[in-house]
Structure 1
Amino acid sequence: MLHTPLEDRLDFSLRVKDLAARSRHASMHALTEEATKTAVVLPLIQTFGFDVFNLEEVTPEYIADVGIKKGEKIDFAIKIDKKIAILIEAKPTSMSLGSAQYSQLYRYFGVAGARLAILTNGREIWFFSDIDEKNKMDKRPFFTFDLQSYDEHQVLELARFQKANFAIESILEAASNLKFVKSAAAFLKKQLSTPDDEFVRYVGRQIYDGTLTKSAVEQLRPAISSALDELIRNRIQDKLNVTFGQEAVQNDQHTEKKPVEEPQSSEIDTTQEETFAFLVVKAIGSKIVPVERITLRDSKSYCSIFVDDNNRKPVCRLYFNSKTTKSIGLFDDQKIETRHQIVEASDIYKFSNQIEKALSTYS
């Protein structure tokens, strides 16, 4: 049976969701490396389309002597066309990959002929290659995937590593791009919070007519920082407007196809402004948790925004029912709510830090 590309993507996405469920379960029950391999790593290999029961395709405890090091083993070696393509080293779920030692993976990479290496603890999956120096594994991963916190764009990147799609040159080209994007994003994030002198001088030369003395740089720094914040807010706002407009059109079309029912007086009506405010919260939270986890529940007095539609995971409340005032309720670490008055929904951006902090509790 032939599948369309869309069907293939949906199928892979469902397999990743199943793997994510295994990962969450393993985080509570898989206390050893062997348990992590059984609970998550073998299903991960299967998710990529490899036969874990075929030793010519997946070799566990792979041995490749390196120099004076004899008899050391790598957890899994995956072969394509009888050549080693991927090396995998597993760690227990209790271990942070940031502190993990993966010297064996590093040593084997050069002699095994692989161009791709994976390090995983059953939750995080780190992908390495030899972008910086051929046949020498890079010290930093070019792509990371968190099975318990990801978005659809990351799923599309993960799909590159399927056996059916595996094309090493394409993967390495994408890896190089991802590496530069990651580095550029880290640089820009730093400039957003505290623009350094060099960056301020670069922008200053485009907008300042005088000599860029130390005093001038200090004067320009907060203005440039504010301009970056405004630029990002405007881009998010533009995207929200497009999304909000499309949803309105779809709702209109949907309404035309069905007979209009007279609403009962007891029915709760979520207003356009409340919906827009919800989209603002989702935009703010998109870098903390997958947006589909951020949910809205309306009531007569206020709209509640939760994670996973769980009232034990509150993010904020929208009090928009008054004709004269609007406010947003924010929660502290003890889940104690404090209300803040706002003029319009876009003012919610002013509380981005508090919203992100609340969401990070559930990520």
Structure 2
Amino acid sequence: MSFKEQVAELSKRAIAAQNIALTEEATKNALVMPFLRTLGFDVFDPTQIVPEFIADVGLKKGEKVDYAVKINDRIEFILEAKAVSANLSQAQYSQLYRYFSTTDCSIAILTNGIQIWFFTDLDAPNKLDSNPFFKFDLFDYDDNDLKELEKFHKEKFSIEDIKSSASTLKRMKATINCIEAQFNDPDDEFVRLISKEIHDGKLTAAVVAEFKPIIKRAFDDLVRQKIQKKLSAAFNENVNIPTIKDVDSVTQINDDGDGIETTQEEIDGFNIVRAIGAELADVSRIVMRDQKSYCGINFDDNNRKPIVRLHFNSKTKFLTIFDAEKAGSRFDIAQTTDIFKAKALIQAVIQSYVGS
């Protein structure tokens, strides 16, 4: 299998394991060791993988980190695993910090089997950065993420390339954070920067206050246009992208006519699921059936082949995403476009139907 196919298989495994592998040991066996295999390592070869690696740190003796990963007899990674249910942002991983400075390793990895965080020493030599330079999520990744992850493969590993990429990723992350902050709440300096290009007069405080909501709305419209282009590109030219005005073009919506109201938000969600599925199957096979309590999206218009249920009828929005065994798991979202974050999960179930 290609690296992309191996990661897709690992993602499917993670879907099944997330409700079963509840302890650290179970997570290691179900997800962490398969992850290391995906990176080209023989997990049973002690010259490549050293479990329960011990390195004395100052007065602390006999402490262990879960795995040391060797390439050409040199420790390149140390890895600490948490249970699949662990929130990595709240996890304690002090061993990584201590061991990083006492070994010659280049990379420290923290993972709960689904999210994999990569750390190095960009800020100060031989001192682990407090923030990861790269995060990979088995439930939410794209081709660019795969390219970054493949750099850690045993056969492709180059610490020079990785550190160069890490520096770029760090700057990109800082840039994205800055742009996102301006997107959510543009400050006066940014508003002035844009306004001077379109306003001939003096930029008084009143003018800046007038332009601020206009610029925020322009950001919102730009994002919507980008999403629409992405959706349009996913469909064949002959496939109509429905809106609330032509909702009848969507197969089987409101087939009982029993007080069901299909909202534009549900239509948007349906279009996003179709766009995600377009990489694997003809979009005409992905069909919406709206119900009173949820909006169902099925494969081949078959209730026995559920893909996603959209729960948009209350203040808290979430999806029920099904797997190949028809078991549903909840995926919370803040806005409709967050459905793209569930791309790997949605494609996994569609792929199971395509191959059946």
- Tell me the secondary structure at the aligned position of residue 46 of structure 2: coil
Q: Kindly indicate whether the alpha-carbon contact (under 8 Å) linking 1:151 and 1:290 is maintained by their aligned counterparts in 2.
A: no
Is 2:85 the partner of 1:85? no
Q: Kindly indicate whether the alpha-carbon contact (under 8 Å) linking 2:231 and 2:271 is maintained by their aligned counterparts in 1.
A: no
**TM-score of the pair, normalised by structure 1:** 0.70
Match of 1:52 in 2: 43
- By relative contact order (CA 8 Å, sep 6+), the higher-ranking structure is 2
Match of 2:308 in 1: 313
> Closer, same or farther in 2 for the Cα pair 1:12/1:222, shift >3 Å?
same
Measured in 2, the distance between the counterparts of 1:282 and 1:62 equals: 47
Q: Kindly indicate whether the alpha-carbon contact (under 8 Å) linking 2:78 and 2:107 is maintained by their aligned counterparts in 1.
A: yes
* Alpha-carbon distance, 1:219 to partner: 0.8
Q: Kindly indicate whether the alpha-carbon contact (under 8 Å) linking 1:332 and 1:358 is maintained by their aligned counterparts in 2.
A: no
CA deviation vs aligned residue, 1:73-114 (integer Å, no higher than 9, x gap)? 111111111111011000111211111001110111112111
* Alpha-carbon distance, 1:315 to partner: 3.7
- Paired letter, 2:154: K
Larger-gyration structure (1/2): 1
Q: Where does the alignment leave 5 or more consecutive residues of structure 1 unmatched? A: 1-9, 252-270, 317-329, 336-351
> Closer, same or farther in 2 for the Cα pair 1:226/1:44, shift >3 Å?
same
Equivalent pairs, count: 299
CA deviation vs aligned residue, 1:294-334 (integer Å, no higher than 9, x gap)? 976348999x7738886473349xxxxxxxxxxxxx64469
Range 144-153 or range 117-126, more displaced: 144-153
**Greater helix content:** 1
> Closer, same or farther in 2 for the Cα pair 1:168/1:179, shift >3 Å?
same
> Closer, same or farther in 2 for the Cα pair 1:14/1:115, shift >3 Å?
same
* Alpha-carbon distance, 1:163 to partner: 0.5
Is 2:286 the partner of 1:297? yes
Is 2:161 the partner of 1:170? yes
**Correspondences of 1:62-101 after superposition (within 5 Å):** 62-101=53-92
Measured in 1, the distance between the counterparts of 2:89 and 2:23 equals: 18
Match of 1:110 in 2: 101
* Alpha-carbon distance, 1:149 to partner: 2.8
Measured in 2, the distance between the counterparts of 1:142 and 1:283 equals: 34
* Alpha-carbon distance, 1:22 to partner: 2.5
* Alpha-carbon distance, 1:241 to partner: 5.1
Match of 1:268 in 2: none
**TM-score of the pair, normalised by structure 2:** 0.71
- Paired letter, 2:31: V
Q: How much identity, in percent, do the aligned residues show?
A: 41
* Alpha-carbon distance, 1:143 to partner: 1.1
* Alpha-carbon distance, 1:239 to partner: 4.8
**Correspondences of 1:243-258 after superposition (within 5 Å):** 244=235, 247-248=236-237
Q: Kindly indicate whether the alpha-carbon contact (under 8 Å) linking 1:284 and 1:355 is maintained by their aligned counterparts in 2.
A: no
Match of 1:195 in 2: 186
> Closer, same or farther in 2 for the Cα pair 1:220/1:190, shift >3 Å?
same
Is 2:203 the partner of 1:208? no
Range 184-193 or range 114-123, more displaced: 184-193
CA RMSD of aligned residues (A): 3.8
- Paired letter, 2:15: R
